[in-house]
Amino acid sequence: MLNRIILMGRLVADPELRQTPNGVSVASFRIAVDRDYQSKTTGERQADFIPCVAWRQTGEFISRYFSKGRMIAVQGQLQSRSYEDKTGQKRTAYEVIVDQAYFADSRPNGASGDRNDIPFPTEPPRFEEPQRGNSLSVGDSGSFDEADTDDGDLPF
């Protein structure tokens, strides 16, 4: 069976980071995901508001680098749980248990190290060419010793 969900939307509010009694981090947040069509009566786009939960390092990452209005892409599983409300009626809640989260927008203007600052490099990494004469070619042993190739005692 397969239970995999991928969503991209904007955070409705800042993520709420809590700790369980055992010290495990858990972040709760909701994302607004636009529907593909517009309302016939108003002409406005409709959105679904999806509750999400992220545990441990993923939750800490989300609460540190994402805030209200930021675009986020998440991967995870859809999970349901039953509970009784204050009046004693049984209810069912659905939420996405987030395994991975990704930045889905660019760095905000004026970002300066706070939770809105995305840790993207300002320039792509530069790779240096190896210096001539220091590379190994096929067949070079370099500083490695030859291994004995006595196959008589091998079990296969």
Domain layout of the chain by residue ranges: 5-37+44-103
pLDDT in the model for residue 110: 55
Q: Which residue has the tokens 């809590």?
A: 18
DSSP class of 102: E
Biggest CA-to-CA distance, the chain: 82
The neighbour count for residue 65, using CB atoms within 10 Å, is 18
pLDDT in the model for residue 44: 85
Give every CB contact of residue 104 below 8 A, 6+ residues apart in sequence: 8, 71, 72, 73
DSSP string, 6-46: EEEEEESS--EEEE-TT--EEEEEEEEEEEEEE-TTT-PEE
- What is d(CA 108, CA 123) in angstroms, rounded to the nearest whole number? 16
pLDDT in the model for residue 62: 96
* Gyration radius (Cα) of the chain, Å: 25
pLDDT in the model for residue 139: 52
pLDDT in the model for residue 40: 82
pLDDT in the model for residue 137: 47
* Residues lower than pLDDT 70 in the chain: 107-156
Question: Which residue from 151, 149, 50 is spatially nearest to 96, judged by alpha carbons?
Answer: 50
pLDDT tens-digit readout, 97-136: 999 999 998 766 655 445 444 444 444 445 454 455 544 4
Specify the CATH number of the domain 5-37+44-103: 2.40.50.140
pTM of the model: 0.65
Question: Which tokens go with 118?
Answer: 């995305």
